[in-house]
Amino acid sequence: MTAADLHTLTGAYVLHALEPEETAAFERHLTECPSCAQEVRELAATVGRLALAEAVTPPPALKDQVMRRISAERQHPPRVDRVRAERRRGGPVSRFVLAACVAAAAAFGGVSFWQHQEAKDARRAAERAERTTAELAAVLAAPDAKATTARLRTGGSGTVVVSRSRDRAAFLVTGLPEPPAGKVYQLWFDDGGTMRPAGLLDRSTSDGAAIMDGPVGPAAGMGLTLEPAGGSAAPTTVPVTQMTFSV
């Protein structure tokens, strides 16, 4: 994949439509391309605004009203010339088709493909995705962003990117195996030898990126461990990796 190809992936990245390998390559590209990072932030904001649209559940009487109108509407013989003429002047055929479409929508319980609660859930998920994408792009494209890369004990490699001005850090991983059953990868900030929880890593794929939970603060490094599902208050296993932040 060339640099020119990567510049065209902003929209697909925001919509989470890239393959894992493409996602990892594009996120590495974001650390070096402020223009793509800015476009990702703008597109993510647009997706979030679109997600605010809310499905409306029609009143229970709507279906009955539409069905009564349909039963009272005269149906014409299906002659081609007559049908075309009626369509041109918006006559009974057009009204019948419109009424049938509305009735079908009412029969499915709404005027939208999503029900009211499903739309709310989708909107919340889109808002979370928008925030995460925007935060990730902001950290990777920050003028003072510093990256450190290391091999992981379980295989693959990890990169931590820190922006002191934003007081945030992002962790990018490539080739990390899925955790064993009942286990999860947990991120940590290293505050002078004391490990502070920094969130769980979604390991549905071997490549990905995550914003570490909480501010960087006094942390001089980070770690990644395998912990019981749900995470731990302190590390319970040998770290998969430990890295000192670049100065």
What's the pLDDT tens digit per position in 98-153? Answer: 444 444 444 444 544 445 555 566 666 666 667 778 888 888 888 898 999 999 99
182 and 72, same structural domain?
Answer: no
- Residue 226's pLDDT is 95
**Distance separating alpha carbons of residues 125 and 136, to the nearest angstrom:** 16
- Residue 90's pLDDT is 45
75 and 159, same structural domain?
Answer: no
- List Cβ neighbours of 76 (8 Å cut-off, separation of 6 or more): 82, 83, 86, 92, 93
Distance, C-alpha 132 to centroid of its chain: 8
Structural domain range at position 177 = 143-247
**Distance separating alpha carbons of residues 26 and 219, to the nearest angstrom:** 27
229 and 167, same structural domain?
Answer: yes
Q: Which amino acid is at 148?
A: T
- Residue 93's pLDDT is 41
240 and 121, same structural domain?
Answer: no
87: left (phi over 0), alpha (psi -120 to 50) or beta: alpha
147 and 135, same structural domain?
Answer: no
Beta bridge partners of 163: 168
- Residue 166's pLDDT is 93
Final residue of a structural domain among 141, 157, 190: 141
Segments of the chain with pLDDT less than 50: 52, 78-109, 111-114
- Angle CA(50)–CA(172)–CA(8) in degrees, nearest 5? 50
170 and 78, same structural domain?
Answer: no
Report the chain's mean pLDDT, rounded to a whole number.
76
101 and 116, same structural domain?
Answer: no
17 and 99, same structural domain?
Answer: no
Please state the domain count of the chain: 3
**Distance separating alpha carbons of residues 24 and 135, to the nearest angstrom:** 16
**Distance separating alpha carbons of residues 80 and 215, to the nearest angstrom:** 69
